Chains A and B, each alone.
Chain A
Amino acid sequence: MPEVSKMKKPDVKVVLLGDMNVGKTSLLHRYTERRFKDTISTVGGAFFLKQWGPYNISIWDTAGREQFHGLGSMYCRGAAAVILTYDVTNWQSLAELEERFLSLTDTANHDCIYALVGNKADLTDPKAQLSPDSDVASEECEESGCPTPPASPASLSGMTLHKQVTPEDAAALYGRILRYKGLEEKSSLPAEKLCFETSAKTGYNVDTLFEALFDLVLPCILRKRNENQESPTVDLEECRGTSNKRTRSACC
């Protein structure tokens, strides 16, 4: 992946937001590396480039810790999509999205797409325990580094936990987000399309989430490219075409 993405200019920006320990890094890791592993609490934000067809999508995996709160709006600047992540076994993590993270998205694009993702669905939902890949079962099943109290023991013993956040709660929050952004519910994408329940551990719904979202930001990419073409600035990079893997000249 680094080979391909090395010199590309990102076309669009997607940001993962959410409280600490909800599994943002794990979700992204599952999607990019196809596996689940122990992660350590993210510091600051981590930047990834994902090749999506002919497009380059930059993904910011941010730290959920309050320590880095002030950076959130910087990561969100100009974002085309924000993935608001919560933990289905933790009501507070959903509440935090509204209290702490929603205001950070003020710097995002005006037509930014908001996805609500309830992670750790494998802890509450038997159907999420079935993994799409068969090799997953053999992998280590430790939850993320700093244990959220309910997560670790249960995931080890395989029992299901009480689900604290239902899809209806998420849909309701989605409605409130639209209102906060001053968007019409009718003209916006419906909640069913943008509320997901996933499991980074088993891989349940993870690809669906990212792929659906990337499809949704495509218009944004195309519009941006059009704008660029119309703009008086000549983009040397653009002229070389996307297949050109040559480097940009070192001019600054």
Chain B
Amino acid sequence: MERDNHQEGEAQGVKICDPPCESNPPADTLATSLSLLGNHMFPDPVERNNSTTVNKQELSNPILSDVTEEEKSVDAEPQSNQVTKLEAEEAEISECQNNASSQTLDEGTEDAATDNDRSDSGEFVVAMLAKAKLEEQGIGVKGRSSPLLEAGIQESPAFMSHRDEDVTAESWRQHRKHVFVLSEAGKPIYSRYGSEEALSSTMGVMMALVSFVQSGDNIIRSVYSAEHTVVFLQKGPLVLVCVSNSRQTEQQLRGELLYVYYQIISMLTQASISRIFEHKKNYDLRRLLAGSEKILDGLLNLVDSDPSFLLAAVHCLPLASSLRDSLSQILLKAITPNLVFSILIANNQLLTIVQEKTVIEDARLEPADVHLLLNLIGASSAFQAGEIWTPICLPLFNPDCYFYAYISYLDPPECTVCLLLLSTDKEAFYAVAECKRKIEEAMTAQNSLSLIAKVQSYSVSQVGVSDLRHFMYKPFDVPDNYRQLTQFTSPEMEAPYSSEEEKMRLLDLYRYMHSRIHSTSRPLKLIYHVAERETLLAWVTSKFELYTCFSPLVTKACAITAITKLLRWIKKEEDRLFIRYPQKYSTTPNPSKSSRGGKSDQQDSTENGFLSLL
């Protein structure tokens, strides 16, 4: 949530100056460049009719766009408890048709008419641009249509490589969510699908869009079409673009782009990225990220399939508090100077975490940093027998310095229980590896591994509330667990949500509920949402955030009673479901070494040799 606020703050800080007289000629160039972009991105035969003639006045006329904005907010009003998004959607479509005036084709589209493939897409994107929000008046999130209108599931998260995909193919355009990363010079850095080389012109056009808007002292934030949402995020010398038809809100998509940015930072640090681009504007960052594509691919798959990212909280494995305590004790006893975090993970879920005292006083480990670590482990575990030693940056902890991560599995060859030790000392491998020996030994003595092996996530049936199918519960920081890692708990997804498609559908519903609760313009506290195949209830208070999913025939009263029961159950199981009292230890006689942004850490990033590459 902090992050979201931050985003908004940034947005409002932008000065707006949009002289209408200036904008017609540039709009032409923009339209032309858009048609190029559209060539790859948005050919849509259905939309073509709506958008062949676009009133380009709207591009430049702030008054008109004001009106549109008002309409939108009016549309958004009547949707209260029961969701009636259909109206909104229709209104949007008609609005689009109204906008499409009888004005003659401009050069851009005429040009395109000769080239059939080009024309469709080009015009389509122009239509989108007509609705582009150019960061005027810090416009809030526009009412989005319900995910129910369109299940929007074309593909389950696939784990094959999409690197070789044909970017001109229809299937490429059909992807649910594209993510592109480029440098300010327009150089491609990453594309989720298809090779960056093949997309270099597309990315060039994206950059043209960004700089065009920038030249008017504005920042492009998003472009809407009926089918797609294009979200832009500029972070230092990097530009991140998401093109989605997932029906997620701009806010959520921007949050996901931020995760991508953080993952890049976690590999290179913010300081070295800015240094690299200061020295050489058109540096090809892929040189440094080569081989890391799978980590980014993995992250994006997780973002789509794991609600931890949406909730910005960590999911820990339910564990008897006695066992969790004994594991923490084992970690606490195996320490070495400059060790700052010891984390035990099973099946990509947190078992326990202990921290160096001075570190936790300074700052706490953010859920996003933990997500990045978990993703790194997940993506690099192909060869699990060895002990890995690698630099890693925790961007929310300190975006400019490296930690050194020791990663080792404790139960080869199954490789489910993973130990992660973070040190600030690059040379500490052998000392840290020795800690692992001690941990391994103590765990053998206490038979911890076989106890962990028996641990499973829980079933919603254990709650004992009929009609309750699934839930996600995230307690907030309350004084007694202040500075603790934000966590959430959630049972396994069971039938009817056992297939990938159904899981995704439920997650999409949760995303929709989340967007309503966290809407910047009109946040809701309690939503009772009757969907086609289930009923959902989301509730946010000062103490927690709760999302529940019931069978479709549940009544409102029934759901409320069920939630009371559920909350009582969670309270009872609290010690098992969450890491309650994070343990701390003290390793460093010299606190400056481990403190946030310590000088010694920063040197490490320079030492890592990026400068030598330039």
A interface residues, Cβ below 8 angstroms from B: 1-2, 6-7, 20-21, 25, 29, 32-33, 37-48, 61, 63-71, 74, 145-147, 247-248, 250, 252
> Interface-forming stretch among B216-224, B289-297, B501-509?
B289-297
Known: A2-B412, A6-B437, A45-B390. A67 touches B288 (CB 8 A): yes
Known: A6-B437, A39-B382, A247-B437. A65 touches B388 (CB 8 A): no
Closest 6 CB pairs of A and B: A44-B390, A70-B609, A70-B608, A41-B291, A46-B386, A40-B382
Q: Is the CB of A43 within 8 A of B294?
A: no
Q: Is the CB of B380 within 8 A of A43?
A: yes
Q: Is the CB of B389 within 8 A of A32?
A: no
Q: Is the CB of B291 within 8 A of A25?
A: no
Mask, B266-290, CB within 8 Å of A = 1, is: 0110000000000000000001111
In the bound complex, CA of A150 to CA of B290 (Å):
17
A-B contact sample (7 more), CB < 8 A, given A25-B383, A70-B391: A32-B385, A42-B383, A46-B383, A66-B287, A67-B288, A69-B612, A70-B610
- Which residue of chain A is the closest to B336 with respect to CB atoms? A252
- List of B residues within 8 angstroms of A247 by Cβ: 437, 441
Q: Is the CB of A63 within 8 A of B613?
A: no
Q: Is the CB of B429 within 8 A of A47?
A: yes
Flag whether B480 is at the interface (Cβ < 8 A). no
Q: Is the CB of B426 within 8 A of A41?
A: no
- Which residue of chain B is the closest to A71 with respect to CB atoms? B391
Shortest B609–chain A CB gap in Å is 3
Q: Is the CB of A47 within 8 A of B386?
A: yes
- List of A residues within 8 angstroms of B376 by Cβ: 43
Most chain B CB neighbours (cut-off 10 Å) among A6, A33, A70, A252: A70
Mask, B590-614, CB within 8 Å of A = 1, is: 0000000000000000011110110
Q: Is the CB of B380 within 8 A of A47?
A: no
B interface residues, Cβ below 8 angstroms from A: 161, 163-164, 267-268, 287-295, 333, 336, 376, 379-383, 385-391, 405, 412, 426-427, 429, 431, 433-434, 437-438, 440-441, 607-610, 612-613
Shortest B335–chain A CB gap in Å is 9
- List of A residues within 8 angstroms of B292 by Cβ: 41, 65, 67
Partner of B383, one of A29, A64, A68: A29
- List of A residues within 8 angstroms of B431 by Cβ: 252
- List of A residues within 8 angstroms of B291 by Cβ: 20-21, 41-42, 63-65, 67, 146
In the bound complex, CA of A240 to CA of B571 (Å):
53
Q: Is the CB of A39 within 8 A of B383?
A: yes
Known: A40-B379, A70-B609, A247-B437. A20 touches B389 (CB 8 A): no
- List of A residues within 8 angstroms of B380 by Cβ: 40, 42-43
Known: A6-B440, A47-B429, A247-B437. A65 touches B389 (CB 8 A): no
Partner of A74, one of B267, B290, B427: B427
- Which residue of chain A is the closest to B290 with respect to CB atoms? A65
Shortest A37–chain B CB gap in Å is 8
- List of B residues within 8 angstroms of A40 by Cβ: 294, 379-383
- List of A residues within 8 angstroms of B389 by Cβ: 44-47
Q: Is the CB of A68 within 8 A of B382?
A: no
Q: Is the CB of B293 within 8 A of A146?
A: yes
- List of B residues within 8 angstroms of A252 by Cβ: 336, 431, 434
- List of B residues within 8 angstroms of A67 by Cβ: 267-268, 288-292
- List of B residues within 8 angstroms of A65 by Cβ: 288, 290-292
- Sample 12 A-B pairs with CB under 8 A, ordered by A number: A6-B437, A32-B385, A40-B294, A40-B379, A45-B388, A45-B389, A46-B386, A65-B288, A66-B613, A70-B610, A71-B391, A146-B161
Partner of B609, one of A43, A69, A147: A69
In the bound complex, CA of A7 to CA of B612 (Å):
38
In the bound complex, CA of A43 to CA of B291 (Å):
9
Partner of B385, one of A2, A41, A45, A145: A2
- List of B residues within 8 angstroms of A6 by Cβ: 437, 440
- List of B residues within 8 angstroms of A2 by Cβ: 385, 412
In the bound complex, CA of A147 to CA of B293 (Å):
12
In the bound complex, CA of A44 to CA of B292 (Å):
11
Q: Is the CB of B388 within 8 A of A71?
A: no
- List of B residues within 8 angstroms of A33 by Cβ: 385
Q: Is the CB of B388 within 8 A of A48?
A: no
- List of B residues within 8 angstroms of A45 by Cβ: 388-390
Partner of B438, one of A25, A47, A250: A250
Most chain A CB neighbours (cut-off 10 Å) among B333, B383, B387, B609: B383
- Which residue of chain B is the closest to A26 with respect to CB atoms? B383
- List of A residues within 8 angstroms of B390 by Cβ: 43-45, 63, 68, 71
Partner of B426, one of A29, A47, A74: A74
Q: Is the CB of A48 within 8 A of B385?
A: yes
- Which residue of chain B is the closest to A61 with respect to CB atoms? B386
- Which residue of chain B is the closest to A1 with respect to CB atoms? B385
In the bound complex, CA of A65 to CA of B391 (Å):
13
In the bound complex, CA of A220 to CA of B470 (Å):
62
- List of A residues within 8 angstroms of B434 by Cβ: 248, 252
- List of B residues within 8 angstroms of A29 by Cβ: 383
- List of A residues within 8 angstroms of B440 by Cβ: 6
